[in-house]
Structure 1
Amino acid sequence: MVERTVRSLRYLLLGLAAGVGALVTVVAGVTGCAVLAVTHLGAPAFLATTAVARRLAGLERRRAGLVLPDAVPAPYPPTEADTVLARARQRAAHPATWRDAAWLTILFPLALVCAVVAVVALAVDLAALTSPAWAWALPPARRGDLGFITVTTLPRRALTALAALVALPVLARLVRALATGQASLAAGLLGPGRTQRLTERTDHLARTRSRAIDAQAAELRRIERDLHDGAQARIVALGMTLALAERRLKALGPAAAQARADLAAARAEVNTALDELRHLVRGIHPPILTDRGLDGALTALLADHPLPVTSDVRLPHRLAPALEAAAYFLIAEALTNITKHAHATTATVTVHPHADGTLTVTVTDDGRGGADPDGPGLTGLRRRIEALDGTLALTSPTGGPTTVHAEFPCAL
């Protein structure tokens, strides 16, 4: 508690020196910018003034750390402009510039009032607390003055010291409150504003989510490679071994007929397991999607579809892996639903990027319509698309046609 009080008093006293520097900076900066505003030196003068102001504001943020539990972050964005005039306009448009100016303007009178109140209160209290020790130094003629009436006798001196001792924690708390209030005001003006904090938080969450999605997509590709190169290869080798054993048993004649039947059944199970594994691999992440991108994967997908599908896919470059996977599985699920439920004769798939940075994916069929927008298949796809900041819409009136339309931000 004593240490906090000392730090608070130190903060208030340092505020006087900081206030003088801030006042000089504000007066000189405003005067210089006003005089040079009509010349081509106005923008450099403004940049120089705000640079000094930001340096002082940085010192104020560090000084606030004497009493605040958390450090005050700097609110300044990186400078992106190239020319002096553009940098000056960018700096003038940022609210932190004017919040710095507001704090530097009020710092000196605020620091002066807070420091005087704290110092006078503590000085008077300490003087009263030590009154028995120094009362003897007063001339006898002065001990009856109004200002020293409480130290004329020994009981009065003891009572004064006791009152000062009781008041000392209260005054120490006052000093801490003055310092905390001043530092909190500095943090509110010199730190990031609420809008800026929300924007930075949103950007941070968007970056972390994008990295998480990319990591998930990479992990799915790794699982697909492990299954394709590991388990699937071993099952293929097992099937070949069983086939070789079956051929060798044929040379034994009818006595090995039952063994050959068992091997044939084992081969059938191995082939079934291999087909299921291949289907699982394609469901996790089709290898062709990694090798040839969304355009090549859709070409293979549509070629295997039982219905005639017209496609219009225009992709000038590869998309992000997570975006390619989401678009692919959306189209694959939509075509599967068309085959199972729509009773359609044709389907159309379009994939178009747009100049505004979005990618649209549309699947349309001429079936009977009436699809459920809240079905489990579309719900899972909608969640996967929304994780990429995309949207999914289903239009399926009774009698058809049914249209599944999705939009993705291509920046992902």
Structure 2
Amino acid sequence: MFHRTIRALRHLLLGVPAGIGALVTVVAGTTGCLVLAITHLGVPAFLATTATVRRLASLERRRAALVLPVPVPDPYGPIEAGTAAGRARQLAAHPATWRDAAWLACLFPLALVCAVIAVVVLALDLAAFTSPAWAWALPSARRSDPGFATLTTPARQALTALAALILLPPVTWLVRALSTGQARLAAALLAPGRTQRLTERTDRLALTRSRVIDAQAAELRRIERDLHDGAQARIVALGMTLALADRRLKALGPAADTARADLAAARAEVNTALDELRHLVRGIHPPILTDRGLDGALTALFADHPLPVTADIQLPRRLAPALDAAAYFLIAEALTNTAKHAQATSATVKVRTHPDGTVTVTVTDDGHGGADPDGTGISGLRRRIEALDGTLTLTSPPGGPTTVHAEFPCAL
């Protein structure tokens, strides 16, 4: 408790000179900015004033940290503008600039009042507690004053010291309360506001989610590459070995027909496993999507589709890997459903990158319609698009046509 009281008293006493410097800075800076506002020196004066205000506010955050359990966070972010006028506009639009100035303007009277109250009550209590040691030095004429009436006899001096000892905990609590209250008020003004905290948290969550999505896409590409270069290559080698064994058995004549039949069955199973593995690889992440991008992967997808597909793709540049994969699998799933369930004769795919930074994907077929917007396939696609801050809508009236439309930002 003693150390906390000392820290609180130091915090209050430091506030007085800090308040004087803060008040001078705010008054001089405001006056200078107003006077120079009509000249070309207005912007440099504003930048110099705000820089000084920010430094003083940072010192105030450090002073408040003397008594607060946690430090006061800095509300400032990087200044993105390159020109002096742009920096001035960005600083003027930042709420922390004006909160800092408001705190520095009211710091001196607040710090002075708190410091005077703390010093007076603490000094009076300590003086009363030590009165038996110095009361003898009072002139006889002053002992009759009302303020020293309790010090006229040794007994009264002892009672005064005892009362001061009893009042010492409330007095030290008052000193700490004044310091804590001042520090909390400083934290309320100098810390980031609620809107700024929510904005920063949203930015952090968006950055974290983007990193998770990129890491997931990279992991899928790694799995695809390992399957393609590892298991798939070994199965191909196994098929070649079986073919070589079949050729050698063929030279033995009819006696090896049974073994050749078993080898043929084994080769058929190997080919089936290889086809399934290739299908699995394409389902994880098609290699062509990494090599040639979305445009090239869709061209290959349309070529293998049983229905004629009209493509209208306008991509001035490659998208992020996560967006490439999301758009590809959305189109692939929509076309698969068209071929299986819609009884359609054709389909149309449109992919657009818009000036506002969004990508739209639209898949339309001429089938009978009636698709369930809450079906398992559509729900999975919707979750995948929503993970990228996108939206997916399905329009499928009875009789058709069915349209799947997705929109998501391309800046990830």
TM over 0.5: yes
Q: TM-score scaled to structure 2, two decimals? A: 0.96
Q: Which structure 2 residues correspond to residues 44-193 of structure 1 after superposition, within 5 A?
A: 44-193=44-193
Where does residue 406 of structure 2 map in the other structure? Answer: 406
Where does residue 341 of structure 2 map in the other structure? Answer: 341
Report how far residue 9 of structure 1 moved.
1.0
Alignment gaps of 5+ in structure 2: none
Report how far residue 87 of structure 1 moved.
2.8
Report how far residue 385 of structure 1 moved.
0.5
- Which range moves more in the overlay, 362-371 or 252-261? 252-261
- Three-state SS of the structure 2 residue aligned to 1:47 is helix
Report how far residue 28 of structure 1 moved.
1.4
Where does residue 260 of structure 2 map in the other structure? Answer: 260
Where does residue 313 of structure 1 map in the other structure? Answer: 313
Report how far residue 142 of structure 1 moved.
3.8
Output the CA distance in 2 between the equivalents of 1:313 and 1:83: 39
Report how far residue 272 of structure 1 moved.
1.4
Output the CA distance in 1 between the equivalents of 2:348 and 2:295: 15
- Three-state SS of the structure 1 residue aligned to 2:244 is helix
Output the CA distance in 2 between the equivalents of 1:121 and 1:257: 111
Report how far residue 382 of structure 1 moved.
0.6
Change (3 A) 1:8 1:257: same
Where does residue 17 of structure 2 map in the other structure? Answer: 17
Report how far residue 266 of structure 1 moved.
1.9
- Which range moves more in the overlay, 160-169 or 346-355? 160-169
- Three-state SS of the structure 2 residue aligned to 1:393 is strand
- Three-state SS of the structure 1 residue aligned to 2:13 is helix
Note the alpha carbon deviations across 1:325-357, whole angstroms, 9 max, x for none: 000000000011111111111111110111111
State the one-letter code of the partner of 1:69: P
Output the CA distance in 1 between the equivalents of 2:278 and 2:88: 61
Moved over 6 A (4+): none
Alignment gaps of 5+ in structure 1: none
Q: CA RMSD in A?
A: 1.6
- Three-state SS of the structure 2 residue aligned to 1:122 is helix
Q: Which structure 2 residues correspond to residues 183-222 of structure 1 after superposition, within 5 A?
A: 183-222=183-222
State the one-letter code of the partner of 1:184: R
Note the alpha carbon deviations across 1:61-117, whole angstroms, 9 max, x for none: 111111122222222333333433333233222222211111111000000011111
- Three-state SS of the structure 2 residue aligned to 1:310 is strand
Output the CA distance in 2 between the equivalents of 1:171 and 1:126: 10
Where does residue 283 of structure 2 map in the other structure? Answer: 283
Report how far residue 278 of structure 1 moved.
0.6
Change (3 A) 1:297 1:139: same
State the one-letter code of the partner of 1:150: T
- Three-state SS of the structure 1 residue aligned to 2:406 is strand
Output the CA distance in 2 between the equivalents of 1:268 and 1:4: 83
Q: TM-score scaled to structure 1, two decimals? A: 0.96
**Number of aligned pairs?**
412
Note the alpha carbon deviations across 1:111-158, whole angstroms, 9 max, x for none: 001111111111111112222322333345544432122233344333
State the one-letter code of the partner of 2:19: G
Report how far residue 198 of structure 1 moved.
1.2
- Which range moves more in the overlay, 147-156 or 43-52? 147-156
